[in-house]
Amino acid sequence: MANALQFVPASVNQLSFACNIASFDHDANMKANAGNTMIFGLFKKKNSNQTIVNRQYYALTSAARIPVFYEDFGVPDTVMGRFEMLSIVMILFFRRTATSGPSGQELAQEIVDAFFQDIDHSIRELGIGDQGVPKRMKKLAGMFYGRLETYAAALDSGDETALAAALHRNIHPKATDIQDMSALAHWMTTTETAMSAVSEDTISRGLLVVPQPVREGEEQ
């Protein structure tokens, strides 16, 4: 899955996570993108591609906001907790698309760009000034790619214990007691398996659905 590490944001000086961590306005974003002006053929292609990107990005960010993660799986319902959960969902998506063809790879790059643009917007919404944004951007980008590598190592080896430990270090860095992250680790491994079975046609059309987390004792 090393190809996933090749994805980079369009600009490392862009980082916004409150928008999807707090409130992603999907409809408004689609309308804004539809307002571009260019020759008809190019506009039609661009608009079609953007619709696919918006649809998939909205599905990913919506999955990261599912209450079970915060109520039962040990993720704190805070700005940073939501950043961590959104990062997890994005990492799983990028690992899936790392083995995709050109259309899937292009979609993944568009999703990367949208993710970091969203983080930029969110940092600014939190009151960080223009001079402070690049520094925060680089820090959060470094955190994201560090997590991608760490989680990838555990996922590639099928080691849920190591994955749970990595999740604990990242999501609860200041915890004085051990938080059980095994449910989230198990969800990640089963989700990756489910995503691997998703067809390339589904990926290229932006129709990948992230599996729902299941509370302990509940059946799917």
pLDDT digits (tens, 9 = 90+) for 98-116: 999 999 999 999 999 999 9
Which residue stretches of the chain have pLDDT < 50? 1-45
Rounded CA gap, 134 and 144, in Å? 15
Structural tokens at position 47: 């608009």
pLDDT of residue 28: 36
pLDDT of residue 123: 79
Rounded CA gap, 111 and 113, in Å? 5
Q: What is the pTM of this model?
A: 0.78
pLDDT of residue 41: 44
